[in-house]
Amino acid sequence: MSAPAKTSDRKICEAVRNLLEGGGERSLSMQKIASAVGIQAPSLYKRFAGKSHLLSAAARGALVEMAELLGNPAGAGKTYESLERMGHLYRKFAKKNPRTYALIFSEAMVAREDLLRARQAAAEPMLALLRPAVGKDAALNAARMLVSYLHGFLSMELARTFRFGGNVNEAFQYGLTKTLDALLEEKAQHG
């Protein structure tokens, strides 16, 4: 007789996110994940081939959330304002899910081919805004510049690298404005 499942992949991914945000990577042992969903560690291997597959599933969920957040066309308007809003949403997501954000960009997760699609989907809203604004050829370079700024700023902010004084919110806005100005220089002015 088939025993009923005690848990689900979805619950396991939720547990991963909660443990991660709650206590960092050292709270994220297979034992602790298993006990959070009421099973034993070896049972996790019936569902995921290994820890990195399990983390990948959690990371994919987060990338989907991010794609939805950034792709949400609430208040569609000028390119500049849309990109600015997107920058702030990006930061909001990262600050709300700091360890998950770090997981997404961790070397182990970036190496996982099964996350490529989700990554591409999360990058698409930005590319879609940039393509008509800077041209199809420059859009990839432009997106890489903007996301480099955003990711660099956020990973340093989340790791608490900004400690020499100054206002961090203001610094983010300063860099975002200048980055967008540079990208869209000859296009519609803002403000």
Partner DNA sequence: ACCTGAACACCGTTCAAGT
Instruction: List the structure tokens of 88.
Output: 């702030």
Shortest distance in whole angstroms from residue 117 CB to DNA: 23
**76 versus 111: smaller Cβ distance to a copy of itself:** 111
Helix-helix angle 79-96:51-71, to 10 degrees? 150
Count CB-CB contacts under 10 A for residue 75: 8
From 9, 11, 14, 30, residue interacting with DNA (rule: CB under 7 A):
30
Cα–Cα distance for residue pair 149/154, rounded to 1 Å: 8
Residue type, 122: A
CB under 7 A: which stretch of 44-52, 70-78, 90-98, 173-181 binds DNA? 44-52
Instruction: List the structure tokens of 64.
Output: 């989907």
**2 versus 186: smaller Cβ distance to DNA:** 2
Q: Are 38 and 93 in contact (CB under 8 A)?
A: no
Binding to a copy of itself, residues 91-120 (CB under 8 A): 102, 105-107, 110-111, 116, 119-120
Residue 186 binds which entry of DNA, a copy of itself, none, with Cβ cut-offs from 5 to 8 Å by kind? none
Q: Are 158 and 94 in contact (CB under 8 A)?
A: yes
Residue 69 binds which entry of a copy of itself, DNA, none, with Cβ cut-offs from 5 to 8 Å by kind? none
Please name the residue that has the structure tokens 């700091």: 98
Backbone angles phi, psi at 159, to 5 degrees: -80, 0
Residue 182 binds which entry of DNA, a copy of itself, none, with Cβ cut-offs from 5 to 8 Å by kind? a copy of itself
Q: Rule CB under 7 A: say whether 143 interacts with DNA.
A: no
Binding to a copy of itself, residues 9-68 (CB under 8 A): 24
Q: Are 90 and 151 in contact (CB under 8 A)?
A: no
List residues binding a copy of itself (CB under 8 A). Answer: 24, 102, 105-107, 110-111, 116, 119-120, 123, 138, 140-142, 144-145, 147-153, 155-156, 159-166, 170-171, 174-175, 178-179, 181-183
